[in-house]
C-alpha cells in the first residue's frame, strides 16, 4: 500500500515538474526565431529549398519560425514593392495552436506566399514586414 502511494506521488511530481518546465500551458508571448525565403513550403510551413533570389515568374514563399506554441497573439505579414503594399496575410495563434495541450521543444511555423499576377519587375525594392500583435 505504501509502495503504491509512493509511486503515485512520484508520478504526480514528475508530471507537475514536466508541465512546469514546458510552460504547462502558460501563455507565452510569441517571438520570431527565423524567417526563410524559399522555393516552396512543406505541409508544416517549413522552407523547402531556401533561396534569396527569384525569377520574375516565381511564387515567393516565406517560412516564419515562431518560438514554442503560443496560444494567443497575431502574426501579420505584409509584402511591399518600394512603398506600395502588394498584399498581406494574418495568422491568429489561438486558432493554429488551439489543439495543443503542451509541447516539448516544438515551434510553430507560419507560411506566406506571394504569387505574381504578371512578371515581377527585377528590383531589390521588395520586402516583407512582420508584425507580432501590431508591433
Q: For residue 61, name the pLDDT band (cuts at 50, 70, 90).
A: very high
Cα–Cα nearest to 110, from 14, 31, 3 = 31
| Structural domains present in the chain | 28-132 (2.60.40)
The pTM score is 0.73
* Mean confidence (pLDDT) of the chain: 79
Q: Which residue has the cell 502588394?
A: 86
Would you call 112 exposed, middle or buried from its count of C-beta atoms within 10 A (0-12, 13-18, 19+)? buried
SS3 call for 70? coil
Over residues 95-130, the pLDDT tens digits come to 875 555 455 567 889 899 999 889 989 999 999 999
Over residues 36-42, the mean pLDDT reads 96
In the chain, count H helices and then E strands.
Answer: 2, 7
Amino acid at each position: 500500500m505504501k509502495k503504491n502511494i509512493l509511486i503515485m506521488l512520484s508520478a504526480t511530481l514528475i508530471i507537475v515538474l514536466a508541465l512546469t518546465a514546458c510552460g504547462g500551458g502558460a501563455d507565452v508571448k510569441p517571438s520570431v526565431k527565423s524567417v526563410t525565403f524559399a522555393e516552396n513550403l512543406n505541409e508544416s510551413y517549413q522552407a523547402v529549398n531556401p533561396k534569396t533570389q527569384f525569377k520574375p515568374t516565381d511564387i515567393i514563399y516565406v517560412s516564419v519560425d515562431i518560438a514554442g506554441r503560443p496560444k494567443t497573439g497575431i502574426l501579420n505579414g505584409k509584402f511591399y514593392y518600394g512603398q506600395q503594399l502588394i498584399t498581406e496575410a494574418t495568422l491568429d495563434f489561438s486558432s493554429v495552436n488551439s489543439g495543443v495541450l503542451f509541447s516539448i521543444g516544438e515551434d510553430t511555423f507560419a507560411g506566406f506566399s506571394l504569387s505574381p499576377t504578371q512578371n515581377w519587375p527585377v528590383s531589390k525594392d521588395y520586402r516583407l514586414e512582420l508584425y507580432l500583435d501590431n508591433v
